[in-house]
Chains A and B, each alone.
Chain A
Amino acid sequence: MPIAVENVSYTYLPGTPFEHRALKDVSFTIADGEFVGIIGHTGSGKSTLIQIISSLIPQTAGRVLIDGVDYSQKDADKKKLRRTVGVVFQYPEYQLFEETIAKDIAYGPRMTGIPEEELENRTQVAMELVGMDYETYKDKSPFELSGGQKRKIAIAGVLAMEPKILIMDEPIAGLDPLGRESLMDLVKNLNDCGMTILMISHNMDGLAEYASRILVMNQGELMMNGTPREVFREHEALRAAGLDLPEAGQLVEALRAKGIAISEENIRFDEVKEELIRMLGGKAHD
């Protein structure tokens, strides 16, 4: 299920005083099984881009192909798209509504006509994937859970559709540090199972750690498209686009400014740590 975004543009409120070109001629492709991060300043066009990829709004120009199919065409099988591409919006827990957790998770697949006997199985698998025990939680109200748990249930609802591609808009916003870590691990696991991940995030450290590729959006344009290492060594360009380096990168930059020869290639916590241990003569771990 590769994704091809070809020369996509989008204009909000065309012909009004508020006309705004949110996307300008954006092109890229995503192969199966990739973990792609999308970063960009507020208003850079990130959210518009994922809404177009998931066919929630039609592009003004260009096209998006998912597995070769242009779902913006009138006769396209939108149901198939909804089964293929799962979207987790910001604060997805606000969408929980059912009496029990199991019912909430099963809602999507039930609406697409999945038979009852398969629903239970799908719900169980989805809960296992997000690390919530089926027997313990299935009959509880989703509103009794903590913020981080609610979010996992909302994500399980999307996973129960068995999507091949998972699109997420800042999934860790509002979570505490352990909640953030556990959610990033969850997404990493889904990716390891073969799911293609497309994630908008401000969490540069998480993306430096897990993403295979990063798209940098700036004022509606795709400014960079490369591996985390390629992207995060462009300090000046990122700053100009209103973005920060990962914490590890910031430390490396500050050390280099003091004349310490640490490689700019280090963008992850463990890489910086190992190099500092070598430089300062400690005992490196294997």
Chain B
Amino acid sequence: MEDFVRTQGVTYSYTSEEGDVNFALNGVDITVKKGSFAVILGHNGSGKSTFAKLLNALSLPTGGKVWIDGMDTADAERTFEIRGSVGMVFQNPDNQLVATVVDEDVAFGPENLGVPQPEIVERVEQALTAVNMLKYKKRAPHMLSGGQKQRIAIAGALAMHPKMIVLDEATAMLDPRGRKKILEIVTRLNREEGITIVLITHFMEEAVDADQVIVLSDGQVLCQGTPHEILTDQAMLKKAGLLPPFAAQMAMELREAGIPIAQTCITTRELVEEICRLQ
């Protein structure tokens, strides 16, 4: 499969008032396949959000290269095309909802792309349907819950017909139900519409169904692999300032107590199967 994202030796540095050079990213090499679901995990301040902004040329790396669908993000002539193909959803939906009515907000992106009016109406309907918010299309965004607002923000990105959506801690402010809903929607967009997903989070359980998990720590890729490889590697997670998800932690501690539970459990479902097998 083709790479949709490729970064090579990416650094992002800034100079503090005292003149010290700080590296938010330091030599990041990542590839994300077209149509895949990648999760980036990392502690607060690991460089996750800085990385997210490089993926649609909101920022440019201070060293190294970022290619999106084969286009170099530093090539100013491709900026428009890159932004059109990579939708972003940030942590706080209040910072990215712009209109006073839901459907106008979702239409904002395609309007700026110059999409003809009848097609905009169609795209807005489709996008709101995809996030299960069509019946709210004439509501005011500020009257919605956080999770609903975040679904509107995703619809806004979808209406641009992106090839990839980057979610930068988009579930951090939501309650558990709101979080689950967003994850369901994103997973469906990935599987059914083939949209490449980069989900940045520090909820470990959001990584269990990913195709690829990347762990960032202090601006570098500490480890990457499948959810099973990453989420059961306690030593590595600890080094990254993270903790395994509940089921993986439980499986590990049961093993330590001498119970022969497979080390590969990362979900409650898998753990239940293992316990049933041992009964």
Interface residue ranges, A against B (CB under 8 Å): 18, 41-43, 146-148, 173-179, 181, 202, 204-205, 242-244, 247-248, 250-251, 254-255, 258, 260, 269, 272-273, 276-277, 279-285
Contact = CB atoms under 8 A, between A and B. Distances in A.
A115 B145 CA distance: 44
Nearest to B241: A178
Contacts of A178: 43, 241-243
Contacts of A260: 275-276, 279
A261 to B, nearest CB: 10
A42 B175 contact: yes
B44 interface: yes
Nearest to B204: A177
Contacts of B259: 276-277, 280-282
Contacts of B246: 205, 247-248, 251, 269
A175 to B, nearest CB: 7
Contacts of B258: 282-283
B43 A273 contact: no
B146 interface: yes
A255 B169 contact: no
A49 to B, nearest CB: 16
Interface string B190-229: 0000000000001010000000000000000000000000
B211 to A, nearest CB: 22
A269 B146 CA distance: 30
B176 to A, nearest CB: 5
Interface of B: 42-45, 91, 143, 145-147, 169, 172-173, 175-178, 202, 204, 241-243, 246-247, 249-250, 253-254, 257-259, 268-269, 271-272, 275-276, 278-279
Nearest to A90: B173
B91 to A, nearest CB: 7
A248 B253 CA distance: 14
A250 B269 CA distance: 10
8 contacts: A42-B178, A148-B44, A173-B173, A174-B91, A175-B44, A176-B241, A177-B243, A284-B257
Contacts of A174: 44, 91, 169, 172-173
Contacts of A280: 254, 259, 275, 278-279
Which has the most chain B C-beta neighbours within 10 Å: A18, A42, A176, A204? A176
B175 A41 contact: yes
B227 to A, nearest CB: 16
Contacts of B249: 269
B172 A255 contact: no
B44 A43 contact: no
B254 to A, nearest CB: 6
B247 A258 contact: no
A176 B177 contact: no
Nearest to A285: B257
Contacts of B241: 176-178
Which has the most chain A C-beta neighbours within 10 Å: B145, B169, B177, B247? B177
B43 A269 contact: no
Given A176-B44, A177-B242, A251 B257 contact: no
Contacts of B173: 173-174
Contact of B257 (A18, A247, A269, A282): A282
B242 A255 contact: no
Given A176-B43, A250-B268, A277-B257, A244 B250 contact: no
B195 to A, nearest CB: 26
Given A178-B243, A181-B243, A202 B257 contact: no
Contact of A244 (B176, B257, B269): B176
Nearest to B44: A147
Given A174-B173, A179-B43, 12 more contacts: A42-B175, A147-B45, A176-B44, A178-B43, A178-B241, A202-B176, A247-B247, A260-B276, A272-B250, A279-B279, A282-B258, A283-B258
Given A254-B272, A282-B254, A202 B44 contact: no
Nearest to A91: B173
Contacts of A250: 268
Contacts of B250: 251, 269, 272-273, 276
